[in-house]
Structure 1
């Protein structure tokens, strides 16, 4: 990160056998990271086929697809579901590439667009709130972003201290990760000209949310990006990322402005994220129960 950017806090290394066992696992991932990228994709595809067999996860994906894409036939949704799990398996093993493969070996597997929007926002001196979303290859997307953009990202600590230590250490090989902070502190940070990658597309319950359309269906949507942007006097740049023919395509999009009306702003945000997701819908993180929180009186879709 640039000078003056808050530095990530690495959790103190836990003691005990667990941290050493995880050390062996992540050491194995480092070896995988040295393999040719197409080989890693092939291994990930096989893992995806195994993940597809987990009925509980498969049912969540199919429920989300049926809810969001009612115009598709059952066979089309099943095909999309299988493609999703293939992408999920690739993303799972791809973190070895994202965390440990030298950047020079990744250059031909990435394409970056829209940097002029980032450069213009940087020149203003304002902080930037990058609006993102969860995809199956999120770790690789973050690694590519860190190569071209100056930012830090939230990291929700894992409850397993040993696993948390290795995950945080791996992610910090590429970019800075920050623990969860209160909105006021983040606002001050953005106001100082720092940048944040924020992904507000998951169901976090009813707190600080409004029901805004997501694929035409009511989804509990966080209003915190609007509050953060206002407190931090930050520019809001949506950012798109998806894989195409084995290459990560990263695009910084033009800035958007919030109006101050939560429903209108959350609807705008979801609409922008939808346009990004639609570039490669199988790669969105459909295994998450995005519609778990329902409006009063509406039954669960899961």
Structure 2
């Protein structure tokens, strides 16, 4: 598959069918111009409204939290659920800032943890498989990492050409380019060229090229095996990285030490290693993780849906 060309706008971009996307982008641009304190209250309002309106997502998140944290009380899980949707609201603000803020303003609200781990792996030749997860801060994470080491992102192109234009250029504001999540050759090429490639294998992408291994308290979570495939590219090192939102609204980019002895060659063991790294990251701030996705939609043959 050929490398994705940066999307452009044309006369058709202003067709009435795209007016909804233009309104959304205008709203996000407006958010980015607000004072930081007002952004905070707007994020709270969006999150609380989202919890009221997105009933099906509330159900999915509640089930995921029950499945993953059976040791917690119902009250504790409901508190996590509430905070999860608050961070959904904040993610709208964070996305607007990551896409539209100038470099100086973004840097003003950015902190780093573990930069020495990136410096260590960069002393060796080869690319970096930047292992991450779907936190609500993922747009901030993309820009934050690009500030120190511009890389390549893996993503799903949006069908709406207007939103796709701003999504692509927002995510590459501090990075090089994006690769379609189905383009494995493109990912390998980026790694061979020494790039840091952002890769999040924490969703349930079906049973193709996947194995069932534990994820938190769920013993059978469909987990893709492509992570090990990419990690086998010559000289590639695997780093866990994610961004956390602080109470003052600033963002901390976290970079963990390189994962050693990976892949080991055992498909299930390798998948479990990745899930454990993701679990460790989530436990830093479980309320900031996107529990609204059906992480356990694929079941072993004969098992009923958990949703």
TM-score (norm 2): 0.90
Check the 8 A contact 1:60/1:286 in 2, yes or no: yes
Find the aligned partners of 1:189 and 1:142 in 2 and give their Cα distance.
16
Question: C-alpha displacement at 1:85, in angstroms?
Answer: 0.3
Check the 8 A contact 2:244/2:254 in 1, yes or no: no
Match of 1:3 in 2: none
After TM superposition, the structure 1 = structure 2 runs for residues 243-254 of structure 1, keeping only pairs within 5 Å, are 243-245=245-247, 246-254=249-257
Give the unaligned 5+ runs of structure 1.
1-5
Find the aligned partners of 2:93 and 2:157 in 1 and give their Cα distance.
20
Match of 1:29 in 2: 28
Match of 2:178 in 1: 178
SS at 1:251 equivalent: strand
After TM superposition, the structure 1 = structure 2 runs for residues 218-297 of structure 1, keeping only pairs within 5 Å, are 218-245=220-247, 246-256=249-259, 257-297=262-302
SS at 2:264 equivalent: coil
- The answer to whether the aligner puts 1:110 opposite 2:106 as a matched pair is no
Question: C-alpha displacement at 1:58, in angstroms?
Answer: 0.6
Q: CA offsets per residue over residues 243-286 of structure 1, 9 Å max, x none?
A: 12222121211111220111111101110111111011001010
Check the 8 A contact 1:187/1:232 in 2, yes or no: no
Question: C-alpha displacement at 1:24, in angstroms?
Answer: 4.4
Count of residue pairs brought into register by the alignment: 297
Find the aligned partners of 1:273 and 1:79 in 2 and give their Cα distance.
22
Find the aligned partners of 1:168 and 1:186 in 2 and give their Cα distance.
17
- The answer to whether the aligner puts 1:100 opposite 2:100 as a matched pair is yes
- 4+ runs of 1 displaced by more than 4 Å? none
Check the 8 A contact 1:113/1:252 in 2, yes or no: yes
SS at 2:281 equivalent: helix
Find the aligned partners of 1:81 and 1:285 in 2 and give their Cα distance.
10
Find the aligned partners of 1:195 and 1:24 in 2 and give their Cα distance.
34
Question: C-alpha displacement at 1:295, in angstroms?
Answer: 1.5
Question: C-alpha displacement at 1:20, in angstroms?
Answer: 5.3
Find the aligned partners of 1:197 and 1:293 in 2 and give their Cα distance.
24
- What RMSD, in angstroms, separates the aligned Cα atoms of the two structures? 1.9
Check the 8 A contact 1:188/1:232 in 2, yes or no: no
Distance 1:104-1:8 versus aligned 2 partners, 3 A rule:
farther
Find the aligned partners of 2:183 and 2:24 in 1 and give their Cα distance.
33
Give the unaligned 5+ runs of structure 2.
none
